[in-house]
């Protein structure tokens, strides 16, 4: 039986929360996902402040109710406010949502630590692991910002930012080791176009988001090479088996990997031309070298930085990840992208995949 379930019957309420139940929330990060998530929360009726690095972004959000660089053509709620002053943004917030590139999270969390009032819930919206340590973002929230584990949550699922910003109906998963925290965040992060589900499997929910990025890069690579739907479906299916093996070895529940945060996000990311990971993969498949791809990407493609640490963790646990290894080889320039799919079933270096 799936462990997914609507947090409460109250989930059916899709109107804005009454003013007396509105919470003071903060979203850290003014990119495409941070801005979209802040809109979700403000549309739900909450009092939301965004922290953005660049003062000019704050001015645009406050005055024009737009964030043109990341969400072109999207009108933001007039109630949504932004500031580039972190202390001002966080003061009085009951829940802090984090949406910066994973490699910058540690530094932000160190700065944030003394600003957090006791009892503040911190939610990671990020889908990367720290390159130097292999840590998941929720681990960093606990270890670096000192937030007790029961007050840490993660959000994941098939959540292409621009589609949600355009208010297209979508589902998201909120996971925390403490059910009360997951339910609380799920109740806050829902509105007429976003429905929240709860899961207690933090490892699976978080790794689902991280790992599907790798498979989206692989699918982008074969697309860029010019291969068709069979190849892409083969990479996605074998990719799901591979990332499930990894996540389960890391402590995830297998069901999570066929839920919204696993299969759901895998489908969305591998099929969307808006996905940055898919786009980065397609550039690699078209023959651009890693550094050129990084140069061309204007937004964060987390998978490019997660491949290395994921492979290191897999090696420690004896998990075979042939597709992820091939992505790494393409990134290093040691594998011709056109050879990625032929290597799918068997290769000189890897055993024949189990099953199928």
Ligand X SMILES: O=C(CO)COP(=O)(O)O
Rounded to a whole number of angstroms, the CA Rg of the chain reads: 20
Taking the complex as a whole, how short is the minimal distance between the CB of residue 306 and ligand X, in angstroms?
11
Tokens representing 123 are: 């939610």
Query: At 37, phi and psi to the nearest 5?
Result: -65, -35
Is 4 within any annotated ligand binding site? no
| 84 is an interface residue for ligand NAI by CB under 6 A | no
**Which residues would be at the binding site for ligand X (CB under 6 A)?**
127, 158-160, 213, 216, 265, 268-269, 275-277
Q: Give the nearer residue to ligand X in terms of CB position, either 58 or 211.
A: 211
Q: List, in sequence order, every residue forming a beta bridge with 290; answer none if it has no partner.
A: none
DSSP code of 54?
S
Residue nearest to ligand NAI (CB): 31
**7/303 with CB nearer ligand NAI:** 303
Among the candidate windows 12-20, 30-38, 142-150, 194-202, which touches ligand NAI by CB under 6 A?
A: 30-38
Nearest to 4 by CA among 248, 212, 192, 263: 263
- Token pair recorded at residue 285: 């498949």
Question: SS3 of 28, please?
Answer: strand
- As annotated, the active-site residues are 212
Q: What are phi and psi of 212, to 5 degrees?
A: -65, -25
Q: Residue 261 and residue 172: Cα distance in Å, rounded?
A: 8
Subset of 271-300 contacting ligand NAI (CB under 6 A): 299-300
| Least Å from the CB of residue 340 to ligand X | 18
**From candidates 22, 23, 25, 33, binder to ligand NAI by CB under 6 A:** 33
Cα–Cα distance measured from residue 96 to residue 121, given in angstroms and rounded to the nearest whole number: 6
CB contact at 8 A, 137 and 102: yes
268 binds, among ligand X, ligand NAI, none (CB under 5 to 8 A by kind): ligand X
The annotation status of 208 as a binding-site residue, yes or no, is no
Establish whether 45 is an annotated binding residue: no
Stretch that binds ligand NAI, among 77-85, 125-133, 220-228, 327-335 (CB under 6 A): 125-133
Q: Are strands 47-51 and 24-28 parallel, antiparallel or unpaired?
A: parallel
Alpha-carbon distances, residue 30 vs 146, 189, 207 (angstroms):
24, 17, 23
32 is in an annotated binding site: yes
Which segments are annotated as binding site for NAD(+)? 29-34, 161, 276
Which segments are annotated as binding site? 29-34, 53-54, 70, 127, 157, 161, 212, 265, 275-277, 302
Q: Which residues of the shown chain bind ligand NAI in the complex (CB under 6 A)?
A: 29-34, 53, 70, 99-102, 104, 108, 125-128, 159-161, 299-300, 302
């Amino acid at each position: 039986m799936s462990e997914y379930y609507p947090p409460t019957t109250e989930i059916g309420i899709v109107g804005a929360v009454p003013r007396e139940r509105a919470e003071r929330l903060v979203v850290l990060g003014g990119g495409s996902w941070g801005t979209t998530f802040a809109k979700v929360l403000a549309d739900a009726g909450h009092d939301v402040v965004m922290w953005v690095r660049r003062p000019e972004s704050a001015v645009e959000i406050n005055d024009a109710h737009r964030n043109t660089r990341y969400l072109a053509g999207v009108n933001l709620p007039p109630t949504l406010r932004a500031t580039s002053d972190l202390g001002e943004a966080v003061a009085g917030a009951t829940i802090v949502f984090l949406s910066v590139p994973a490699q910058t999270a540690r530094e932000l969390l160190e700065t944030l630590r003394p600003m957090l009032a006791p009892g503040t819930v911190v939610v990671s919206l990020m889908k990367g692991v720290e390159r130097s340590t292999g840590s998941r973002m929720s681990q960093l929230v606990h270890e670096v910002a000192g937030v007790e584990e029961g007050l840490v949550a993660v959000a994941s699922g098939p959540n292409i930012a621009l589609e949600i910003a355009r208010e297209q109906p979508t589902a998201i998963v909120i996971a925390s080791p403490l059910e009360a925290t997951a339910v609380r965040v799920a109740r806050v992060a829902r509105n007429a176009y976003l429905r929240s589900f709860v899961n207690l499997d933090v490892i699976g929910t978080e790794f689902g988001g991280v790992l599907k990025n790798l498979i989206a890069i692989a699918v982008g690579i074969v697309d860029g090479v010019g291969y068709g739907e069979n190849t892409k479906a083969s990479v996605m299916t074998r990719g799901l088996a591979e990332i499930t093996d990894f996540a389960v070895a890391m402590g995830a529940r297998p069901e999570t990997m066929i839920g919204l945060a696993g299969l759901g996000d895998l489908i969305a990311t591998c099929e969307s031309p808006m996905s940055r990971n898919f786009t980065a993969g397609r550039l690699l498949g078209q023959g651009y070298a890693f550094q050129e791809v990084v140069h061309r990407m204007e937004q964060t493609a987390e998978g490019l930085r997660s491949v290395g640490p994921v492979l290191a963790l897999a090696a420690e646990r004896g998990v075979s990840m042939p597709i992820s290894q091939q992505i790494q080889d393409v990134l290093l320039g040691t594998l011709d992208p056109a050879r990625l799919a032929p290597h799918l079933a068997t290769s000189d270096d890897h055993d024949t995949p189990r099953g199928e």
